[in-house]
Structure 1
Amino acid sequence: MKILDKYILFRYLKSVFFTLFILIPIAVVIDVSEKVDKFLRHDDLTLIEILRDYYLNFIVYYGNTFLPLATFIACIMFTSKLANNTEVIAISSANISFTRFLRPYFIGATILASVALAMNHFVVPKGNEIRHRFEKSYINKNLGGRGAVKNFNLQLNDSAKVFIKSFNVSGNRGFNFSYSEFNDTKIKYKLVSNNIVWDTEKLVFKLPDYTERFVFANKDSLSSGVDKEIDLDFTPEDLKTSGYKSMNLTSDKLIEFIEKSEKRGVKNLNSYYVELYQRTSLPISAYVLTLIAVSLASRKKRGGVGINLAIGVGLMFIYVFFMKVAKVLGSAPDSNALFMAWLPNFIFGIIAVYLYIKEKKQG
């Protein structure tokens, strides 16, 4: 690696982390001001627990979330400073092409994207699980729960299905439960109950009252009883479809959950697919945003760093808007989650290529 590459790479990475160190404390201060009264309500909550379980994982999550923004802003500021100091002109005069000039930037983007990929797929979800558990216990006790899941159908395997008319996740109690076993398309066994309760100690479902029906070739057999325990291949956690669940699963567990849910016949899993795909698409945006930033800021403009920064921040807000819209649209039934998760990168990739070609021609 040449001296120029080392110089640009070091300044590039230094600018990115400096920008993060500015953004994260602001986010922490705002969050503390909003939640300090909730922390003080709990006499058993210590400062160590707040810092270890909540704010450490808060910093990890938002540091990773702010990384594309920090990369874009830092790249614009640093490159604009090079342009204003006529360093870019000196580099160009040394017969270094704009494509060659981009190399250290893309090395830096590769480092940042690699770190973000590892964080997104494995580190951040584990931190989210701890942070959300803390929030549920001390900040918002309704977090991650839903009032009642309605009309829940579940395919346990090729020959068994479960239906629950209504299940209260926070209360671990449901109503109008039925369990059916099939032989090809013909039913051979059915278990129904007006109530179903999850036993948190034994980790099984209990039926306070139940009716069983065995279907034979020539006759049916009916029986009823009380207090039956039934071990089913799911828990109340599987009934939750909130975004918190997908955020708390590492990618290997998220893929396993999606595959298991598909086999069970769960209909719309697009919110989980979007979460999985964006864990890769967001880190890869470092390349797109870096190319846009360098192409915008590599020439000295009237107004200096300010005009480049204003254009960059405007584009960044548009990118964030597209990302949020893509996540919502990608979570809808019958949408293409993979396409929507990568749509912001595709759109801004076109912009990046246009700016790159334009700058290359001018160079």
Structure 2
Amino acid sequence: MKNKFVVDRLRPFGETIFATMTQKATDAGAINLGQGFPDEDGPRSMLEIATQQILDGNNQYSAGRGDPLLRSAIAEDRYRRFKVEYDPGTEVLITVGATEAISASVLGLVEPGEEVIVFEPYYDAYAAAIALAGATRVAVPLKEDGDTWALDIDALHAAVTKKTAMIIVNSPHNPTGSVFSKRSLEALAGIARAYDLLVLSDEVYEHLTFNKIEHTAVASLPGMWDRTITVSSAAKTFNVTGWKTGWALAPAPILDAIIRAKQFMSYVGATPFQPAVAHAVVNEKPWINQMRKNLQTKRDVLSEALTHAGVKVHASHGTYFVVADIGNRDGAEFCFDLIERVGVAAIPVQAFVDNPEQWSSKVRFAFCKKEDTMLAAAERFRAAGIL
């Protein structure tokens, strides 16, 4: 039944697919390979610092832009890895997760009626943020590139109009596991420069690339620092999705516009977690490297299990996710059936697109779980089949 109280711009958005599938998995006792959250904790030292911060009384509002220690750690890390320089006092903002950084960026920088280009499949929060801003979403499909996907630069160029204000790009890419090449991101950058567009670069999976593939920071490309908002977070880097500690980096005038929106969304995030994340950013590179190796192993376990179950598996070069092609079956129906019949939850990729026909047979599985969990899922595929 239609709810008369829901405003028109939010009518297309019901319960997220993640909430729906997680609840169904819980009700059925299924292994949840749908929602992308890990079931192992982050670095012990980071957890201990957060605990001590709470016990020592660091439980009130932090600075409006976030803990200075964390902002400095993020700026130093960005310079060390990419030679991109940010002033931690004016060009780094701590947010309540990456999703708030995305929403505040769109709300603070895009006028009602303007257009925002996204690449589909896209993280569903992009669509909601664009709707909240009263802007128009323009979806440009990724193109198949061997056993993965790539940016379609010609389609991107064709999508730009006089109303275009921003491009949102996400690499490593959720949900496909693609990592876009530096060459294709340079082509995107050329379009952004030519049409004077902002680029929101969602880099939350920046540390999670496999097989020696390197992450490209969009702001490091020629002519892009002064038009790029870089978003990342501690959630996927340090296995603390529940801490909701993210950040946005941008030149001061752009960041000031983002803060205009963010300050009325949450003001500040959870104070005691921020010094702990700062410690991890500075000191836990070995932990990140080991986690990445472990994830690659889990990716291989899942990919092999799905292949043996008789489905085509696309290559995953980054993130937590593997996409399988289930042939001529509908992805949503397949995922509901998989929970009941096999006891494993997944997410239909068509939930992330405007044009579902191209993606209706694609299903996303998350491999960010304990190895025992991944092996148990593989055994269920073997015992019950998948198709």
Q: Give the structure with higher Rg (CA).
A: 1
Q: Normalization by structure 2: what TM-score? A: 0.24
Q: Normalization by structure 1: what TM-score? A: 0.25
Between structures 1 and 2, the one with greater helix share: 1
More contact order relative to length (CA 8 Å, sep ≥ 6)? 2
